Amino acid sequence: MSLSELPVIDWDALHAEAKHIMTMAYAPYSKFPVGVAGLVDDGRIVTGCNVENASYGMTLCAECGMVSNLIASGGGKIIAVVCVDGSGNFLSPCGRCRQLIFEHGGAHCQLMTPAGPLPMSEILPWAFGPDQLS
């Protein structure tokens, strides 16, 4: 799919979806709910929220849920992502989640930041991805 064929990114809609799914987060330990919404290259929006566990190492990040939603709903490539905290403020994904987004969105996937959208190539410079394995 060429860049001209990709859906237009409605950042307000992605932000609203991220804020909505954040309300579904299970965060009884940290009290830090997180929601994320991603626009897929076919126009779908996939979402995820964090799911904590008493054994903190088993906690699932919101981005893990989003990528799982992506795969379970037919796959595709994520082209834009909004991640928010409990107040709806933009969040930067952790390193593990940056890698997940890079794996399923690539270097050109856009992440909304307080300064505006930035490509994953800037969010995760020198990224290691599927291309390095071929």
**Contact (Cβ atoms closer than 8 angstroms) between residue 31 and residue 25:** no
Helix (H) or strand (E) holding 39: strand 35-40
Span 109-124, mean pLDDT?
A: 96
Instruction: Tell me the pLDDT tens digit for each residue of 28-65.
Output: 999 999 999 999 999 999 999 999 999 988 999 999 99
CATH architecture of the domain 3-133 equals 3-Layer(aba) Sandwich (3.40)
**What is the spatial distance between Cα 134 and Cα 127, in angstroms, rounded to a whole number?**
15
Q: What ranges do the domains of the chain cover?
A: 3-133
Phi, psi of 17, deg, nearest 5: -65, -40
Query: What pLDDT, on a 0 to 100 scale, did the predictor assign at position 133?
Result: 85
Cα distance from N-terminal residue to C-terminal residue, the chain: 21
> Which residue is catalytic, options 5, 17, 52, 63?
63
**What is the spatial distance between Cα 51 and Cα 27, in angstroms, rounded to a whole number?**
6
Nearest by Cα to 107 from 123, 84, 94, 92 = 123
Query: What pLDDT, on a 0 to 100 scale, did the predictor assign at position 105?
Result: 96
**Contact (Cβ atoms closer than 8 angstroms) between residue 80 and residue 106:** no
Instruction: Tell me the pLDDT tens digit for each residue of 63-94.
Output: 999 999 999 999 999 999 999 999 999 999 99
**17 among known catalytic residues:** no
